[in-house]
Amino acid sequence: MDEAERLSRLVGHVYDATLDPELWPDALTQTAQFVRGSAAGLFWKDVCSKNGGHVVTVGLEPRYTELYFEKYVKIDPISTGQVLAAIEEPVATGDVIPYDEFLKTRMYREWARPQQLVDCVTAVLDKSATSAAMLGVFRHERDGVADAEMRRHMRLVVPHIRRAVLVARTIDLKSAEAASFADTLDGISAATFLVDAAGHIVQLNAAARSLLEHADVLRAGSGRLIARDREADQALSEVFAAADRGDAAMATTSVTLTLAAAGGARYVAHVLPLTSGTRRRVGNTYSAVAALFVHAAAPSTLSCPEAIVKAYKLTPAELRVLLAIVEVGGIPAAALVLGVGAETVRTHLRHIYEKTGASRQLDLAKIVGRFSNPLLR
């Protein structure tokens, strides 16, 4: 089986998981194999509260997964770099911290090495004010650290996993069987359209009717869904046609569309093909080839670490030291929490003082406090 066919099959399994969450373990297992990793997981992290959790994990012993989120997420030296990464961009351990430095951390010595794991490549799927949802693929020592081929494969599959996760969250169902799918449409807050290959509307929910009534983002012309912006309308036509051709065509098609309203507001659209797998039953029921989900784009809100990084031009390593110093106090304690040498912390701290203009640890605490509390910004 060549790469294109493997990707097509994988994308099909990923999209099926939007309607049946029980299919996620199989989809992630195939993702790990395609990306050439030994394990994979969907999880979230909050770099301000230093906690997190997993939604689905495959290939790791359950006790190690639980141990990570109970203990090691708080001292993971790469968490901040992972969360700060651009959406969909693969990030390996060495992108965040010098790899030889990582090998000295408690995180590696006590958690990764016993499992013979040598690397983890993550990609942010979605962000909130202080946290991020991510896909992570782990690398076993027999395969070595992440290489260019692994990153390339991640870039091929991540957009589709992101779309599936966002659509699944939009539907917010434990299961969406074809027989009951129509009954769920009005319960979906996003404007939802079922369309044929030419973009003709065959089913829509209450939010979609409201969107069409205002006609400042989308309108219906002769039964066809038309975007206000000509370029976006062309993109919609292309993606509906691709959906009609099945998952193989969708595997190489743009996964997120931005729609502009007359007043300048932005909307985000996700298209879920309904021509293959579990989704085919929904499509056959309504003679539809795709489901289109449209919602207003959330305002861009900086998380507290992102704001600090941008304000003072800190590196990921400097940000980790800053937050550790503020939280636990003192160079020795910060070095212990981060799993690095005291001299390394001292060097980063000197750079932090230079960039922020602070002269003592109390000043650093005030800086973090201002960025954490919107009332003080």
pLDDT single digits (tens) 25-72: 999 999 999 999 999 999 999 877 788 999 999 999 999 999 999 999
Residues of the chain with CATH 3.30.450.80: 3-171
Which segments in the chain show pLDDT lower than 50?
174-175, 178-179, 300-303, 373-377
Say what the pLDDT of residue 128 is. Answer: 73
Q: What is the CATH number of domain 3-171?
A: 3.30.450.80
Residue type, 129: A
Q: What is the CATH number of domain 178-296?
A: 3.30.450
Say what the pLDDT of residue 174 is. Answer: 46
pLDDT, one tens digit per residue, over 351-375 is: 999 999 988 877 887 777 666 544 3
Q: CA nearest 127: which of 49, 46, 17, 15?
A: 46
Residues of the chain with CATH 1.10.10: 304-376
Which pTM does this prediction carry?
0.78
Say what the pLDDT of residue 146 is. Answer: 96
* Contacts made by residues 359-363, CB under 8 angstroms, sequence distance 24+: 361/325, 361/326, 361/329, 361/330
Say what the pLDDT of residue 371 is. Answer: 66
Residue type, 298: A
Dihedral angle sign, alpha carbons of residues 235, 203, 27, 125: positive
Q: What is the CATH number of domain 304-376?
A: 1.10.10
